[in-house]
A and B are shown apart, each in its own frame.
Chain A
Amino acid sequence: MSEDWPLYEVFIRSRAGLEHKHVGSLHAADARMAIEHARDVYTRRQEGVSIWAVRSADIIASDPEEADALFEPARDKVYRHPTFYVISEEVKNL
């Protein structure tokens, strides 16, 4: 039965003010069932206060084959990290 249902990715917000985090995936026939299943599978132990569910097929992912082209160029650009400033001594708690 459930293998006939599309796959959904589930995101849970654990507390107000925090961001939703990916927690896993599940099968559901439609949006309403996806939320119910997410509630029953992923929030049984008070893990969350808000659920997002999205069809896995609707997620646009980067291609692992392209990882070199996408991510390699950033590797030698250390100057992009904000670590080259001289912090004046008067500034505390930075």
Chain B
Amino acid sequence: MSARTRAPNERDPAQQEAHFRYVVRLGDTSLVLGQRLGEWVGHAPALEEDLGLANFALDLIGQARLLLTYAGELEGRGRDEDALAFLRDAPEFANLTLAEQPNGDFGHTIVRQWLLDTWQLEIYAGLQESADTRLGAIAAKALRETRYHQRFSSGWLIRLGDGTEESHDRVQAALDSLWRFTAELFAADDVDERMRAAAIAPALTELAPRWSARIDEDLRAATLERPAARPYPWHGRRGVHTEHLGHMLSDMQHLQRTYPGVRW
């Protein structure tokens, strides 16, 4: 079939594959982060925080459902949101490495959340203009939730950073330990490039300085030090994960793996 006779929405397989992978990455980051936050239920330092974190977990899992459902359709192999969430192994997951890092203490969770909320703010804002209108609509919905998440996480970052000596030291330590995973947030690869060229995704090089400026602003208010850039590459988006994801998935997928197809 020549290019001229193709339907306008018919893409070459490489483009379709990149589109699928781009959406899966977004969905997996939301899913994995949502699952992590869900681990706090019943354990948060106050009842009010417990409910807040549970709300965010559900927001994120809601985003994951929309994104993974769409990814399944793009892939065209009959996998739905559940098949993608519960029947893939770690190397098939394409979340940002930062999202899978364990909760640690409350401050550690807040730092991880704040770094990713601020990232999602930029990504979803950029995706609102996407040539892919369905992805744009999902992003617009998620952006409203993300604005509140970022308000919450930056508020706590500032409280803890500008709090007692102990709270300050703990969040600084969390920041120092998690910062190495931020290099992945805006590292564009072939998938990002293809999506940007098709006007489906925003250019990561344009989002990075905005993310960085917001991060610096919150760090100043929190009296925290921005750690030095660490070039060590992490490739969660390409399926190369830290050991933590596998443990998390064994928990998350246990029911579906033990009783395949179970419903309630």
Contact = CB atoms under 8 A, between A and B. Distances in A.
Interface of A: 1-2, 5, 26-29, 32-33, 36-37, 39-41, 44
Main secondary structure of the interface of B (DSSP, over half): helix
A67 B45 CA distance: 40
Contacts of B46: 1-2, 5, 27
Contacts of A2: 45-48
B159 A40 contact: no
A5 B46 CA distance: 10
A1 B55 CA distance: 20
A28 B48 contact: yes
Interface in B146-165: 148, 151-152, 155, 159
B48 A32 contact: no
B52 A40 contact: yes
Interface in B39-54: 45-48, 51-52
Given A26-B48, A36-B155, A39-B148, 8 more contacts: A1-B46, A5-B46, A27-B46, A28-B48, A33-B155, A37-B48, A40-B51, A40-B55
A41 B51 contact: yes
Nearest to A29: B159
27 contacts: A1-B45, A1-B46, A2-B45, A2-B47, A2-B48, A5-B46, A26-B47, A26-B48, A27-B46, A27-B48, A28-B48, A29-B159, A32-B155, A33-B155, A36-B52, A36-B151, A36-B152, A36-B155, A37-B48, A37-B52, A39-B148, A40-B51, A40-B55, A41-B47, A41-B48, A44-B51, A44-B55
